[in-house]
Amino acid sequence: MDKLKIWKSGKIITGYFSSIRYSIQGFFAKNEYPEYTIFSILAIITGASVGLAAVLFHKLIQFLEYFFFDLVLNKFAFIGLGAVIAIPIIGMLIQSLMIVLFPKTAKRKGVIDVIKAVSTRGGYIPFRTTLFHALAPAISIGSGGTVGPEGPAAQIGGGVASKLGQLFDLSDQRKRMFTAAGAGAAISAVFNTPLGGIFFALEVVLLNDFHTATFSALILASVTASVISRIFLGDNPTFQFLDAGVGPYENFYLFLILGILAGIFSLLFIRYSSIISDLFRKHLKAKYPQWALMSVVGLMVGVSGYFFSEIFGIGYETINKLLNEGVAWQLVVTLLILKFILVPLILSSGGFGGIFAPSLFMGATFGYLFALILQSLFGVEVSTTTFVLVGMGAMLGGINSIPISAIMIIFEMTKDYAFILPLMLAVVMSSMIVQWKLKGTITAKHLEEEGFEISSGRDTAVLKSLTVAESMKRDIFIVKANLPVPSLISQLVENPHNVVYTADSNEKIIGVITDNEIMPIITEYDTLSKMLVANDIARSDVIIVNESDNLDFVFKLLGKGSSHQFPVKSEDGKITGIIRRQDVISAYNKATMKMNVKDSFATELRTLNQSKGSKVADGYSIIEKAVPREFIGKSIVDLKFRNNYGLEILMVKHKLSVLAEEANERIIIPSTEYKFTSNDLLVLFGSDENIEKFKKMYF
């Protein structure tokens, strides 16, 4: 009975949200707002919602810090200062219990999960994941965990935006866009840095995939979230200082050296984090229960905090002290070492939190020590404040592979333009060293370790979805290798092809002849033509591709050499045609148009009636048809659908219940391997001529 009640409650809640969604959709449809107006309104709503969520997250961390270090500490004051050691242990035990209760949700950590959602799940993030990763990191930081709030905040922002995308029934492309915008808006709200949030979403979440519409959403959402944050949390800069003098330009090489050293330090931190992660994942977690491991790490944090309270929590107060006060170098060295050691231990053992704040902390201490060394050992008069700020940016950019975001975040958090040039110099140098050594970004490295090969752009994803067989031309110009050159030239004149391939007696292609090979012999035609055969002038570096290869692979081959087309062979090794650069571009344009049509007509596609289609343009329409009986059990690739019918399958409406008066249905964007069932409805796009042919065949 309890399960039935829960199910009924879920249906009521789902129905409530559905009614809200239909009301919103009806409002937009009734008032006929322009597309960009609706888009802008949704971006602002997303930013405002994410901003409020970020404020609540900030307040939650503050409350838990008060709860643990004031209420709990006072309650157990009779234990003495030893109670301070127990608090991080308690925090880690609570987090370990949450992992036990919600193991799958717990694994979806931080920014990496947002990237996966945007790249592979159509921007979908379950709301329970958002709630879990708001509470767990708040407990971690609030109980003294020396980690940051930004990774969890980005996940919260992405989750809130994803939920709004579901509520508004957005297309997958729009949902991905707004999920990324939500993550960037959260960074904007947490750090009070709208530009930093925008570039964070572009550099990290979208993997530098830039599109104008996406940029508009990022700007509107980030600015709105930042405004909400400033209303509730104040407009004061996170880091405050009196002066950040950069000194004479001839000393700028010092910032270059700082950037190089910060890059090396970042590599050490990344390498150490990887070793600790492997240690826990492959060895310790297999031998010991997670709660025990997390308790030991909590004990290490507690003992460290007992002697050096500055190590607890985010650490912004300590950074402000470094910016404004003289801090003993011995303490600074100790804090740098402790932060370096403890952060990977917390995260690898199972704790929740981000590494942006630890990066800033380590960068501040690193820059402070660098300035002290210049002053004490080399007698160079420099501004300690400037080197602290530049060190923060260099370490943030190096450890997280976000050079532009790091520059913008530090600049906006300090609101001081004076040190922007040395900041840029050090950040770019640090990031360059890290990415050169890693052969990419740290984010890409983490994704590869988890078995994800996520492209950095939509273009690649489109090309990978298309095969050579779908786009190739079925004619190819082949001659015998021993054909005399005069006969070859006669055939070239009469043939529309300007590329000819030579084949041996077994019909295997062994050479290629283009204008570059023909032109040199024209000047000496009378002398050479009688002496040469086709294979004498052919190049032997022929690349042959398979019908099953995707167009991304072909496009990369085209970019590597001078050839603008390749012969194509089938599975049995026979040459079946050619694939040219223009064929790849044409196929890409058609696929992109399909995606744009699908997004532009997202609402219509979901409400399309079988009896009448939807006119898209002159001569092109969208229709919905029940899957033909002959298609059941077969996949798109089995049917060679695009080649045989000249139509695009935009989506499949899969009926979940055929008995209900209003059958529930699930929208599926099918892969080429999707097998049709009797409960499927096909939403097709194509020319009216091809649609009529398809109807006559099966209906």
pLDDT tens digits for range 334-366: 999 999 999 999 999 999 999 999 999 999 999
pLDDT tens digits for range 53-68: 999 999 999 999 999 8
Same domain, 327 and 255: yes
CB 666, CB 695: distance < 8 Å: no
Query: Domain containing 189: what range?
Result: 15-233
Q: Which of 8-17, 373-382, 531-540 is the most confident on average?
A: 373-382
Q: Does 244 map to a domain?
A: no
Q: Is the overall model pTM greater than 0.75, yes or no?
A: no
Separation between Cα atoms, residue 285 and residue 297, nearest integer Å: 13
Angle, CA of 138, 140 and 145, to the nearest 5°: 130
How does 331-342 read in b/e, with b if 16+ C-beta sit within 10 Å?
ebebbbebbbeb
Separation between Cα atoms, residue 69 and residue 388, nearest integer Å: 29
Q: What is the DSSP string of 274-340?
A: HHHHHHIIIIIHHHS-HHHHHHHHHHHHHHHHHH-GGGSSS-HHHHHHHHHS---HHHHHHHHHHHH
Same domain, 377 and 483: no
Here the tokens at position 325 are: 């006060």
pLDDT tens digits for range 198-253: 888 887 777 666 555 567 788 888 999 989 988 998 877 778 877 777 777 888 89
Instruction: Return the DSSP state at 68.
Output: I
In the listed set 233, 265, 283, which residue is the last one of a domain according to the structure? 233
Q: What is the DSSP string of 629-664?
A: GGGTT-BHHHHTHHHHH--EEEEEEEES-SSSSS--
Higher pLDDT, 30 or 88: 88
Q: What is the strand order of the sheet 680-687 is part of? A: 614-617, 620-626, 680-687, 648-655, 665-668
Res 11 pLDDT > 50: no
Q: What is the structure's pLDDT at 359? A: 95
3-class DSSP state of 539: strand
In the listed set 402, 425, 454, which residue is the last one of a domain according to the structure? 454
Res 458 pLDDT > 70: no
Q: Does 659 map to a domain?
A: yes
Find the DSSP H helices in 350-467.
Answer: 356-376, 384-400, 403-414, 420-438, 442-449, 458-464
Q: Does 138 map to a domain?
A: yes
Same domain, 365 and 481: no
Q: Does 596 map to a domain?
A: no
Q: Does 4 map to a domain?
A: no
CB 309, CB 321: distance < 8 Å: no
What is the pLDDT averaged over residues 628-646?
A: 82
Average pLDDT, the chain: 81
pLDDT tens digits for range 261-303: 999 999 999 999 999 999 998 889 989 999 999 999 999 999 9
As a whole number of Å, the CA-based R_g of the chain is 31
Res 444 pLDDT > 50: yes
* CATH (domain of 687): 3.30.70.1450
**Domain total for the chain?**
4
CB 111, CB 184: distance < 8 Å: no
Residue 660's pLDDT band, with cuts at 50, 70 and 90, is very low
* CATH (domain of 577): 3.10.580.10
Q: What is the DSSP string of 168-206?
A: TT--HHHHHHHHHHHHHHHHHHHHT-HHHHHHHIIIIIS
